Chains A and B, each alone.
Chain A
């Protein structure tokens, strides 16, 4: 079975440009999560979807960041007007729902570099 797929694996943008990151969850998984990893902040929760509905975006920066899940097979994280401090590895994870089934499995991440 394919794991979580993230594209692109690497992205370089100029300051002020837009970046869109894609995630394809494991087939049959009903929850999709987005995290950001930096040396300073570690692994930070951003947002998650359950059955395509946004449930918790408490970790999302209030400006410039948005996430969507238009169908069960993919989710996107969009960063508008990227800034150098947005440089990080963005990780997507997916899981089933329910006690004992909710282990999250991670994709390989997208390394974003904002120049």
Chain B
């Protein structure tokens, strides 16, 4: 069964620094899709970035990038030049490409606090 694990419960950083959030996943499928979402203090869940397993190049969107290490089943989220408004809970998620259909499983989340 698919599983997503985020071991960092919370991280605190200073504004304008770089932070990395860890995520490891388990799947038997050779094809899978990885996602990162952000949940703001208001509860809104916002899609940030994705990595498809067949793509070798790490995805980058704005100041978000991914560190995809397939042999380690790891997909880290890197936020550069953090801003106060990046403070939120970040969720890693995975969809299996085989028989799992479109079901997505989420990790437990990492709370990021960015201080001035």
Interface residues of chain B, those whose CB is within 8 Å of chain A, are 33, 35, 37, 43-47, 50, 52, 91, 95, 97, 101-109
Q: How far is the CA of A55 from the CA of B108 in the complex (A)?
A: 25
Q: How far is the CA of A109 from the CA of B91 in the complex (A)?
A: 16
Q: How far is the CA of A95 from the CA of B33 in the complex (A)?
A: 14
Residues B102 and A102 in contact, CB atoms below 8 Å apart:
yes
Closest chain-B Cβ to A12's Cβ sits at a distance in Å of 17
Q: In the complex, identify which listed stretch (A15-23, A42-50, A64-72) lies at the interface while the others stay far away.
A: A42-50
Q: How far is the CA of A18 from the CA of B33 in the complex (A)?
A: 37
CB-CB under 8 A from A42, the residues of chain B are 106-109
- Selected from B44, B45, B103, the residue in CB contact (under 8 A) with A48 is B103
Interface residues of chain A, those whose CB is within 8 Å of chain B, are 31, 33, 35, 42-43, 45, 48, 50, 55-56, 58, 89, 91, 93, 95, 97, 99-100, 102-106, 108-109
Residues B101 and A45 in contact, CB atoms below 8 Å apart:
no
